Amino acid sequence: MQLPRTPSFRLDGRRALVAGASSGIGLAAAVALAEAGAQVTLAARRAPALQDLVEALSAAGHEAQALALDVADVNATRQAVRDQGPFDILLNSAGMARHSPALETCDPDFDAVSDLNIKGAYFLTQAVAQGLIEAGRPGSLINISSQMGHVGGIDRAVYCASKHAVEGFTKAMAIEWGKAGIRVNTICPTFIRTALTEATFQDPDKRAWISSMIKLDRVGLPEDIMGAVVFLASDASALVTGTSLLIDGGWTAE
């Protein structure tokens, strides 16, 4: 009897672009990909923070380089991906939120969130896919979305709209690029405790709301995302495309 073999989770010989790599989920994702053997290019606006991460990864024996990049600048993003690619893996964690009641949403906040979370994510994904198609190579493209791409939330109409849009274009791109061997998926975390979300957790009412919705009775940590990143980037998920991996502690189970 010949037993089946588990597909490899290793990423040796593959090049990964991690956008939003300077902190939080993006930083954790970069570490996870590097630990699995990928050569990682770390992209973000904060160049000094990127260099610190490059040095830490290099000291741990991993291959990494920094790329100062604002994903909301579509032309700069296209040029950078063209110059640095092709990349076998994209992990896009660049994103932002400006929360307010829907009746109080202002144009600048709507535009800022949309420009990065939708337009920036869309054209970054397009640019990486274009490089792969021109090179005749398969790949795995992953956008960090949110549980809020599947549900609604108080004071989060703009953010929810942006993440629902990411879920939509992910499915469409997966359909278009499937025959080229390019997979496109999202990871949808619940509230993850990072420096950027600390103010939310310090608010007693918001913390109580979060705790009431997460069935596992704890908030998320960046480490909770790392395994999912490696899974979707690797051959272990070779038949997974056009879908969302929810890491939400049961928030959307209801």
Question: What are the catalytic residues?
Answer: 159
What is the strand order of the sheet 15-19 is part of? 64-68, 39-44, 15-19, 89-92, 139-144, 182-189, 244-247
Q: One-letter amino acid identity for 99?
A: H
Residue 92 to residue 26: CA distance in whole angstroms: 7
Q: Is the C-alpha dihedral spanning 63, 69, 74, 79 positive or negative?
A: negative
Q: By C-alpha distance, which of 5, 66, 62 is closest to 37?
A: 62
Instruction: Quote the CA–CA distance of 31 and 38 in Å, as a whole number.
Output: 10
Contact status, residue 17 vs residue 84, Cβ threshold 8 Å: yes
